[in-house]
A and B are shown apart, each in its own frame.
Chain A
Amino acid sequence: MQPLLRVENLVKRYAKRSLAGTWEELSALDGLSFVILPETTLAVVGESGSGKSTLALCVACLEYPTSGSIWFEGRDVVKLVEDERRRLRPHIQLIYQDPAASLNPRWNTLEILIEPFVLQHKFEREEMKQRAYSLLERVGLSLEILPRSPVELSGGQRQRLAIARALALEPKLLILDEALSALDCSVQAQIANLLMELQSSLGMTYLFITHDLAMAAHLADEIAVMNRGRIVEQGPVEEILHQPQNETTRQLLAAVPRMTRTALPALEQ
């Protein structure tokens, strides 16, 4: 099968000003390669600062990588000019951790849902509304919330709304950047179920970025472990969980909070 996304040797460096006033280079992504097959989920896990969010921004065409290529449906998106990138963006959508920060608090639910259509100059007003209704239904929200602003919604409802908006333009790839991390455990389970349901009904492909290894193991087909801008280990979920090869993976596994734990791991103080 042809991969939907192929990332090759991706490098992203940021210029960082040191205390002495000189400019230093900071490698957020340091030669990263992976593929995602259609209708599968790749989870990228790592500690904060390992480059996960930079990866999300590069794949979503919101940040230019320093070097390397990102092949999406046979085209290298890094080499596209801005106009072509704009036409590609509807196919790759990004969902952030905090829906409260990514939804405009002054708009109501309907305005938020039809904005993608307005931006893409698609459909008449009536058609937009109809599509907004079916999107809401798709993510399990009732039409009652249409006149409400995001502030009046619960955390779970907000994240469902963010997913509905991301689905508006019928994307092929959804990037979920810590999309469940800010939610309560019981709500996380609801949204995780919704994501799996959408994957089977719409044939979605997910790049699931998280530090929650337990949720990654539940949702993903494959897990890639990141450390300092590199993928240090990648493989099927069972292999990563039961035969971790890399030290970073073992540390991440050890740090997962488990209900069955009886004592905290010893401190190195």
Chain B
Amino acid sequence: MGPTRGRIMVSVLEIQDLHVSYRWREGVPRPALAGVSVSLLPGEILGVLGESGSGKSTLAAAAVRLLPPNGHVTGGAILFEGRDLLRSKPEELRQIRGARIALIFQEPSLALHPTMRAGEQVRQVLAAHGSPGKRALNERTRQVFAAVFPEEVDRLSQSYPHQLSGGQRQRVLIAQAIACRPCVIIADEPTASLDSATQMEILGLFRTLREKLGLAMIFITHNPALLAGFADRVLVLYGGRVVEWGPAATVLASPRHPYTKALFQSIPQSFEESGNRRETKLPAIAGDSSPSSLPREGCCFEPRCAERMAICRGREPALVSVSETHKVSCYKYEA
């Protein structure tokens, strides 16, 4: 079974109480993450679910210290291989990024160099992290390509990005990510620009690589349906806070937090139901989650919550356990 079963497993990456805020020219710094704690177990796929503005991309960037210049970590710790990345020197970080922790971004056409052959772009990643000689380098590049492409390895590695399809480009990015045999991959919306058939292929490839290479992965997305049958655990972010966290099967099938519940209901279920589909509106969540509409006090979902109570406005709810592995931050579940 999945790695979530072991209870005394040591996590490969541990983010503790992380606070990040962005500074803007006018006004006060805007918090993007307000005390997020995540642990990533060896070999697990952790799905991070959140809408725009929830802080999911900030989490990815902060985990490898790649925040934009106006982004600042204001508290917390990021523990990886026995050290706190927040206290690591730039030189140490350069050796970790790409080699031990790899990143995959959303838009493969922006992440690839347009006038460099795909194979060369993977080779440069390997060369940047130590050069074992030209021969070994070429051999390893070929191996990595063969791991992500089922066929036509040579033709594809000789191709330029514009000659590849969206799915193929994403595979080149995955090749770059796994080239140095990292133990953690952080993927920020890696399939958002692909159509659904290609999405499934890429998810399948991630699963295969996880088995083969023993990778642990943080998979960030706004689409909960992508995580079904794919992720081991799911972390739901809202307004820069963890609102729900638990095994994927439990969270996706029986969500407990009002936000998670409302989010899942807003997805069209045309396949599961039949009949008067056109008469029914989708149960959308009213309002929006832009920073200006988040409350300053209390639960950050309170203004849009269908199940709000008087207490929700006062102070922020803490994460409480509804089962051994399933945590929710909502007053409904506080004893």
A-B pairs with beta carbons under 8 A, tally = 135
Q: Is A47 located at the chain interface by the 8 A CB criterion? A: yes
A246 to B230: give the CA distance in the assembly, Å.
28
Please encode chain A, from 164 to 204, with 1 for each CB lying within 8 Å of some chain B CB and 0 for all others. Answer: 00000000000000000000111111101100100000000
Q: B204, A267: Cβ atoms under 8 Å? A: yes
List B contacts of A156 (CB < 8 A): 288
| B164 interface residue per 8 A CB criterion | no
Q: Is the CB of B270 within 8 A of A241?
A: yes
Q: Say whether B266 contacts A189, CB under 8 Å.
A: yes
Across-interface contacts of B208 in A (CB, < 8 A) = 267, 269
Query: Does chain A have a CB within 8 A of B37?
Result: no
**Roughly how many angstroms separate A1 CA and B318 CA in the complex, as a whole number?**
60
Q: Do B282 and A48 have beta carbons less than 8 Å apart? A: no
Q: Any chain A CB within 8 A of the CB of B128?
A: no
Among the 9-residue stretches A4-12, A22-30, A256-264, the one with 4 or more Cβ atoms under 8 Å from chain B is: A256-264
A237 to B150, CA, bound (A): 35
A193–B284 CB distance below 8 A: yes
Contact A47 B195 (CB under 8 A): yes
Interface membership of A235, Cβ < 8 A:
no
Q: Which of B51, B195, B249, B268 contacts A192 (CB 8 A)?
A: B268
Given A48-B195, A185-B51, A187-B51, are A259 and B230 also a contact pair (CB < 8 Å)?
A: no
B30 to A: closest C-beta gap in Å: 14
Q: Which residues of B contact A259 (CB under 8 A)?
A: 224-225, 228, 252-253, 264, 267, 269
A21 at the interface (CB under 8 A from B): no
Q: Does B319 contact A (CB under 8 A)?
A: no
Residue of A nearest to B148 (CB): A269
Q: Nearest chain-B residue to A215 (Cβ)?
A: B268
Quick check: A184 and B204 within 8 Å, CB to CB?
A: no
A130 at the interface (CB under 8 A from B): no
Partner of B228, one of A189, A255, A258: A258
- Give the docked Cα–Cα distance between A214 and B272 (Å): 10
Cβ–Cβ contact B281 & A214, under 8 A: no
A269 to B249, CA, bound (A): 26
Cα of A262 to Cα of B224 in the assembled complex, Å:
13
A32 at the interface (CB under 8 A from B): no
In Å, the complex CA distance between A218 and B266 comes to: 12
Contact with B along A26-56 (1 / 0, CB 8 A): 0000000000000000000001110000000
Q: How far is the CB of B31 from chain A (nearest CB, A)?
A: 17
A98 to B230, CA, bound (A): 28
Are the C-beta atoms of A218 and B277 separated by less than 8 Å?
A: yes
B199 proximal to A (CB < 8 A): yes
Q: How far is the CA of A215 from the CA of B271 in the complex (A)?
A: 10
For residue A2, CB closer than 8 A to chain B, the reply is no
In the complex the two chains form, is B281's CB within 8 Å of A241's CB?
no
Q: How far is the CB of A105 from chain B (nearest CB, A)?
A: 17
Bound together, the chains give a CA A258 to CA B264 distance in angstroms of 11
Contacts of B222 in A (CB 8 A): 184-185
Residue A268 CB within 8 A of the other chain: yes
Beyond the given A155-B52, A189-B267, please list 20 additional residue pairs across the A-B interface where CB-CB is below 8 A.
A47-B198, A157-B288, A185-B51, A185-B222, A185-B224, A189-B268, A189-B283, A193-B281, A218-B282, A251-B197, A255-B200, A257-B226, A259-B228, A259-B252, A259-B264, A260-B272, A261-B228, A264-B207, A265-B200, A267-B204
The 9 closest A-B pairs by CB, nearest first: A217-B270, A257-B225, A189-B266, A189-B284, A218-B268, A184-B51, A189-B282, A267-B204, A255-B197
The 11 sampled A-B contact pairs (Cβ below 8 Å) are: A157-B288, A184-B51, A190-B285, A192-B282, A193-B282, A214-B268, A258-B225, A261-B229, A264-B207, A267-B204, A269-B150
